[in-house]
Structure formats: structure tokens, C-alpha cells
Amino acid sequence: MSTTLPAAGATHYAPNAELTRTAHVSGPEAYAALVAEAEADYEGYWARLAREFVAWKTPLTKTLDTSEAPFFKWFEDGTLNVSYNCLDRQVEAGSGDKTAIIFEADGGEVTTVTYSQLLERVCRASNVLRSLGVSKGDRVVIYMSMSIDGVVAMQACARIGATHSVVFGGFSAQSLRDRIADTGAVLVLTADQQVRGGKSLPLKAIVDEALALGGCDSVRQVVVTRRTGADIAMVPGRDLWMQELAGSQPSACEPEWVPAEHPLFLLYTSGSTGKPKGVQHSSGGYLLHAALTTKWTFDLKPDDVFWCTADIGWVTGHTYIAYGPLAIGATQVVFEGIPIFPDAGRFWQMIERHQVTIFYTAPTAIRSLIKASDGISASHPREFDLSSLRILGSVGEPINPAAWEWYHEQVGGGRCPIVDTWWQTETGGHMITPLPGATALVPGSCTLPFPGIMAAIVDETGEDVPNGQSGILVIKKPWPSMIRNVWHDEERYRSSYYPPELRGYYLAGDGAGRDAQTGYFTIGGRIDDVLNVSGHRMGTMEIESALVSCTDHVAEAAVVGRPDETSGEAVCAFVVLKGPRPEGEEAKRLAAVLRNWVGKEIGPIAKPKDIRFGDNLPKTRSGKIMRRLLRSIARGEEITQDISTLENPAVIEQLTRTN
Ligand code: WT7
């Protein structure tokens, strides 16, 4: 494992004077003081912030309980309600008429809601859920697209203490079924359809298909929000319309006060083995970090217009759309569509239209928009007035310095700092990131830990690695918004995140290094069998399982990642068929069949870019698939591995051919 650190003497961008003066964390000394405070009294630091950022019903007296490590408890005796913190609190503080969400639909129509209006919608939806018998601790699966209704659905669950699990609208019926079954959800919230890139796509029909696959007996009701008004099938007694039910519900709803450790949500994410894991998050600690990082990392002020382009189906959309911005009373843009519809100028046009001041997106989007605006193009950012912008953010995968520079110059006009935020589904919020008024930037580096986060680089035995060398990224102390468990699988939680050789440190699964002089972190990518395709996390084993479940055709399959200019990594599958190895047109036809199969099993995001057929797969004498060799073949590298033990060396040549 090696991480390429930015070259010595790489360009530094110092925070501008205005930000250093006015930012919430103003200047390197302010950052250093917070770091020192956390080091001197770790629990005292977090307790102080928990009292400042969260409105507690019952004040906390305990901060951190490590007695059942690695199962940690934060603010255990405090009680709160997350939706109260996000909505009622703003209304009570006199911000009821402030815009909470500016929603722009795929087709460009704009709808806004104030904090008072959002509170009322959430209360009505909460009352609907309660009237259907949903109560504290029940699980609710949400399969909706980017919409105010999606945020309302999440907040309504939080209000009544139900634990939500949002499933990304791009996942297939099979993936949705697996998640519904694993959570034991009592209810599914969905919409008739979603609209993306000018097309109406099914949601409710996929819920029907998922439930028909079986194993979802826990589901009593499906509540459908009308989006497009399409004519869809409703199962009498099971399926209900949200708008019809909500209209007759009271506009107020007493929140359910829950202990800080109460599970706010489960979110499924891929690991190196087995099915996706249900990452379980808390209420109190999670909300604290969501609010705190939204405020400090983006230096968010009352007049800002914040826009995070992530989908609510991913953790970024949870923390930086559904919870963080609302918890600090911000105004934010929520966008239904995609960056390239009607053309690649959509993001820039929306920034201009809504006077966005803080823009948070993924490197994969930036790279594809660079491509789209190459040369003289009407979709180039320079064609738009982006002068409202003051801070830019990046998330989901390493941002290469060239893309960083383009983003900085072409989008940010050279004046907006870029916060390159490293974190994960499991960490709940930002872990390593610049703070705009405090941190000098180096393109390609996520710089330094958020104050109070004890990030470090160690070797396989947990020993610290000196700056200038690469190793394994760990977090040495528990933090408030950390994963609490893998849903009903304590063993998997332990083995995935707290392997015994790492001395009680949290294992992030990424390789990283720190700069010899500055101590800045650079993330190298996953060190396990997890791929990052366009910022989407996928396990190679999941895709292999999907391929071999195509029993009509596939005998054996191995999946590896290879670097890709636009998507960061691409999925490359090596397949042995039951029948003879296909060539030419037949190989192309079968590759298409398998791609669609994977799309149906997992979702379109998991479709392999390359599919290669061989008579068999290269294996060691003991029968293990030679994955390193496959990785070299996928990258088109010269083969340096010893292949003298291969029974059939001809497969190497077969496997270099893409279809
Ligand atoms: C993995 C986590 C963070 C929310 C969205 C993804 C990679 C994430 C960065 C970054 C380099 C990054 C890591 C991490 N990653 N942010 N700024 N620089 N790599 O959450 O799906 O849980 O994926 O994304 O590999 O482990 P996720």
C-alpha cells in the first residue's frame, strides 16, 4: 500500500484575510486552541460542544462511557428529539419565516418552504405515521428521491423516534428487498415516481417488486407520496396516499423524547465481505457532529445559501441536507435532478439563480463537468455569474490536484477556499478537513483533523508511522457521531472496525500518509476489497455474488477495480462461463446480458465497465484467485507476477480482451 503524497513544496493557498477575521474558527491559532482544548480534556471538550449545539430535554451529566468498548456511549443520560432540534428550535428562536429549503425540480420549477411550513409538514407526516401504529424504535424504510418530501419523511421518523433507513432510489428491487428484510421495517415510505434528467422513473413499482420477492412480512403499510401523478397500482389495505392522510392530520405533533443513544437511522454500506452492513447511528452524538461540522467546516452564517448536491440516499445527504443545515437554521438548496440536464451548465446556472454561497459536491461531478466544458462551451462556469460563491467543498473520493485547481479557478474564481472533507458513512460527519478561515490549503490533501478527532497513521500492528511515510488510517479515540453497531451484528462491527491487532483504534479502511513538514493528510484509497466508483462505495464480493447468481450462464467470476479518468475507479469483471468461452459479437452480447443482470441485482451503479471472458481464472497452487494479477491485467500493466504455476497461461491473453 502506498499513498502518493503531494510533492514537497506543493502550492499552498493561505486563507484570505477576510475569512481569517470573520470565520467561526478564525485563524490557525483558533484551530490550535480547539485542538489543545480537546487534547487537555477530551470529554470536557465534547460535553461543552454538546451543550452548545444541541437542545436537550433532559440535560446530560455523563459524557463518554467506554465500559463496553468498542461499543461506546455518548451523552447517555441526556434526552432530546432530533426533529425538535432542527425545526421547532428555529421557529421558537424567531426564524419561522426564514427559508429552510429552496427546492428545484428536474424541470426547473422552484418551490420554497420556510421553517414554520417545514415544521407543519413534518408534524402532519409524523401524525400519519403514528396513526398507522408506528412508534419509537420501529424501523421505516424510505425509498424516495431528492425532494422536500424526502427530507420530511426522514424528519418525521426522527420526530416519533422511529429509526429510518433510506435506500438510494437507484438501487434495484433486490437490493431494496434485502434492506427491508434486514431492518425488519414495519412501513415503507415511497413516491409514485421520480424524475431525473427529463425522464420519469418508477419508485412505487420497484417497492411492489421488492415486497413480492418475499421475506418482508414485517411490512404492514406502504405510504406513497404523489410526485408525477402517474397511474400506479395500489394494493388495497396495504398501500395509502401520503397527501390524503396528511391533509386530515393535526398540524402539530408532540416530539418523542429519546435517550441520546437511541438509533436515529440505519444506512447500508458495502464492506469487503458479505452483504452490505446496516451502519447504526445515534441521535445525540450524531446530531452534535452534524450541526458542529456544518457550521465550522463550511463557516456557515445566517445569510448563507448552502447547497450540497448529494442524494439523501447516501450519508452526505443525511448529514449535510436532512440534519446538519436544519440543525443550525440554514437556508439550503435541494435539487431533484442531475448535473448534466438539460445541459452541463445546470449546476452553474443554479448557483447563479439561487445566489448560492457555499457549494458542496463530489470530484466525480467536477471531473465530468470539466470534460463537458472543454474548449469553448456554453456550459463552462465562466458563462455564469458565480460571484455569490464564497466556499467550495469536495467529498466522496480523493480529488486529483488538476481537478482541484480547475474547481478553485473556474468555479471559485480563485477566491473561494475548497474544503476537501474526508469522512465515511460510519463516521457520521467530517473527520479530516480544512476549516476555511484557519487552514492553508494544498490541492489533493484533506489537510488536518477536525478539532477533537484523533486521526493517525499506523502500521499493521497499530504502531505510529512517522510523517512522510504511508500506512493505515485510524481514529485513536471514539467520537460522538461514530457508528454504534452493525445492525444486529455485533461481531461484524467488532471485526470490521476494531480488529484486535490495532490496539482499540477505529480502522477506517483507507490507506493514507502525512506530509513530512506540515503533517497534512493525503488519502490513498481503500485498502480492502471495497471500490469507489463515482463516489459510490461497492464491495467486489457483492458484484461477484451478483454475477455468479446468474446461474444460466456464469460458472465463476472475480471483480477488481481499475483507475478511471471520470469515475475514479471502474468495475472490471473476469468471468468464466458454463458454456464455451464466447468471442466477437457473441462475447459482446453476453457481456451486455451480464451487465443488465448486475443492474437488476444491485442497481445500475454496480454495472461492470469491463467484462472479460476466460476459459478459467488464474489461480495459485492452493486454488486462490490471483487478484493482484487480475488487477494488473485490468490496468493493462505489464505482468510482473510469477505465472509459472498457471495450468493454462493462455487465459492471461484471453482476459486482456474487453467486450
Ligand atoms: C470512503 C467512504 C464521505 C461521505 C461519502 C462517502 C472515500 C470519502 C474522501 C476524501 C479521499 C474520500 C474514502 C472513504 N472518501 N471522502 N475527501 N478524500 N477519499 O462515504 O460511501 O462511506 O465512503 O470514501 O475511501 O473510506 P462512503
Residue whose CA is closest, atom 14 of ligand 1? 424
Say if ligand 1 is within 6 A of residue 442 CB.
no
For residue 75, which amino acid is it? Answer: F
Tell me, in angstroms, the distance from the centre of ligand 1 to residue 424's CA: 5
Give the number of the atom of ligand 1 that is nearest the alpha carbon of residue 310: 5
DSSP string, 293-332: HHHHHTT--TT-EEEE---TTSHHHIIIIIIHHHHTT-EE
Say if ligand 1 is within 6 A of residue 270 CB.
no
Strand partners, 613: 575
Helices H / strands E in the chain, number of each: 21, 30
pTM: 0.96
> Rounded distance, CA 114 to CA 275, Å?
40
Say if ligand 1 is within 6 A of residue 269 CB.
yes
Q: Determine the pLDDT at residue 621.
A: 80
Q: Determine the pLDDT at residue 620.
A: 83
Say if ligand 1 is within 6 A of residue 523 CB.
yes
For ligand 1, mutation pick of 537, 567, 605 (most atoms within 8 Å of CB): 537
Give the number of the atom of ligand 1 that is nearest the alpha carbon of residue 530: 25
Q: Determine the pLDDT at residue 1.
A: 46
Say if ligand 1 is within 6 A of residue 396 CB.
yes
CB 279, CB 266: distance < 8 Å: yes
Q: Determine the pLDDT at residue 9.
A: 57
Say if ligand 1 is within 6 A of residue 397 CB.
yes
Residue whose CA is closest, atom 5 of ligand 1? 396
Q: Determine the pLDDT at residue 622.
A: 81
Residue whose CA is closest, atom 11 of ligand 1? 398
CB 567, CB 606: distance < 8 Å: no
Say if ligand 1 is within 6 A of residue 422 CB.
yes
Tell me, in angstroms, the distance from the centre of ligand 1 to residue 316's CA: 10
For ligand 1, mutation pick of 423, 538, 569 (most atoms within 8 Å of CB): 423
CB 438, CB 31: distance < 8 Å: yes
187 three-class SS: strand
Q: Determine the pLDDT at residue 237.
A: 96
Residues in the chain with pLDDT < 70? 1-10, 375-376
Q: Determine the pLDDT at residue 2.
A: 54
Q: Indicate the helix (H) or strand (E) that contains 28.
A: helix 28-40
Tell me, in angstroms, the distance from the centre of ligand 1 to residue 135's CA: 33
Tell me, in angstroms, the distance from the centre of ligand 1 to residue 165's CA: 20
Residue whose CA is closest, atom 19 of ligand 1? 397
For 209, residues 6+ apart whose C-beta sits below 8 A from its C-beta are 173
> Rounded distance, CA 330 to CA 196, Å?
26
> Rounded distance, CA 624 to CA 620, Å?
5
Give the number of the atom of ligand 1 that is nearest the alpha carbon of residue 509: 26
Say if ligand 1 is within 6 A of residue 316 CB.
yes
Give the number of the atom of ligand 1 that is nearest the alpha carbon of residue 536: 21
Q: Determine the pLDDT at residue 658.
A: 85
Residue whose CA is closest, atom 20 of ligand 1? 424
